């Protein structure tokens, strides 16, 4: 069974999908058979083959994966709300057994497998109080924590990292997404990030000026996407991946 790791976020819209697609694209560029899986998602998109996770569609397009996007999502809901509420409104409880089976299946096909979480770590998945962090912890896999670059991020990162450890999730490190180097607050936040997270800063992704949908990217834009990290950063990331308990 191949290696796998979670991409979890300090909150919603911090860049988990951008980071996930970037990591899959970059790892594949470096000769790895990397893949993507989204165990639970709301706000699904109708396709000719069924309901697909919007994040899975984006990640597949951005990374050049040929896998059917519908197959890249586990429990996918159409209603764009928290998974526990979407499950209740649509009358389909989150199926933990199905997600476990699909995660195991994808790990036999892709190595490493990037597993993207939903929302932040404390997002509820059902009315019993199961949280996103509980799903990640039960898998026994480590996580990359995605953080926003701006004001308030240090607090969110520190709390999320502590929450992850409290749930027994090993942290490979932090990736900051959407950084603007000209912003003094964001520059200073980078200096504090490792101390607040208690984990390595694996890399920083700048705010990218790209069309919203990867299918609209030019060849030059696609190349710029996979080139956002230099060889040194990729080396540190793969070293962390190799040292983490990913399988």
Catalytically active residues are 38
Nearest-angstrom CA–CA distance, 231 and 229: 7
Nearest-angstrom CA–CA distance, 88 and 112: 33
Cβ proximity of 83 and 4 under 8 Å: no
The answer to whether the peptide bond before residue 239 is cis (omega within 30 degrees of 0) is no
Per DSSP, the residues of 59-101 read: HHHHHT--S-GGGGEEEE-SS-S-HHHHHHHHT----HHHHHH
Cβ proximity of 38 and 74 under 8 Å: yes
First to last CA, the chain: 7
The number of angstroms, rounded, from the C-alpha of 145 to the middle of its chain's C-alpha atoms is 8
Nearest-angstrom CA–CA distance, 176 and 32: 23
Nearest-angstrom CA–CA distance, 196 and 168: 18
Cβ proximity of 173 and 144 under 8 Å: yes
Q: Cβ–Cβ contacts within 10 Å for residue 109, how many? A: 12
User: In the block, which residue shows the tokens 């909150």?
Assistant: 11
């Amino acid at each position: 069974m191949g290696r796998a790791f979670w991409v979890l976020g300090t909150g919603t819209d911090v860049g988990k999908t951008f980071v996930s697609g970037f990591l899959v694209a970059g790892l594949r560029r470096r000769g790895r058979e990397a893949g993507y899986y989204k165990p639970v998602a709301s706000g699904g998109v109708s396709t000719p083959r069924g309901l697909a996770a919007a994040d899975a569609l984006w990640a597949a397009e951005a990374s050049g994966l040929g896998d059917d996007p519908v197959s890249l999502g586990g429990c996918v809901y159409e209603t764009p709300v928290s998974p526990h509420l979407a499950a209740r409104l649509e009358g389909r409880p989150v199926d933990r057994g199905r997600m476990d089976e699909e995660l195991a299946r994808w790990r036999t096909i892709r190595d490493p497998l990037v597993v993207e979480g939903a929302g932040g770590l404390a997002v509820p998945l059902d009315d019993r109080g199961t949280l996103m962090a509980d799903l990640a912890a039960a898998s026994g896999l480590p996580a990359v924590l995605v953080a926003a670059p701006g004001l308030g991020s240090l607090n969110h990162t520190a709390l999320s990292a502590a929450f992850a450890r409290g749930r027994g999730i090993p942290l490979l490190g932090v990736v900051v997404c959407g950084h603007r180097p000209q912003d003094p607050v964001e520059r200073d936040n980078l200096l504090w990030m490792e101390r607040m997270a208690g984990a390595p800063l694996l890399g920083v992704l700048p705010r990218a000026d790209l069309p919203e949908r990867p299918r609209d990217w030019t060849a030059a834009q696609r190349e710029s996407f996979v080139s956002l990290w230099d060889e040194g950063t990729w080396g540190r990331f793969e070293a962390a991946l190799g040292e983490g308990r990913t399988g």
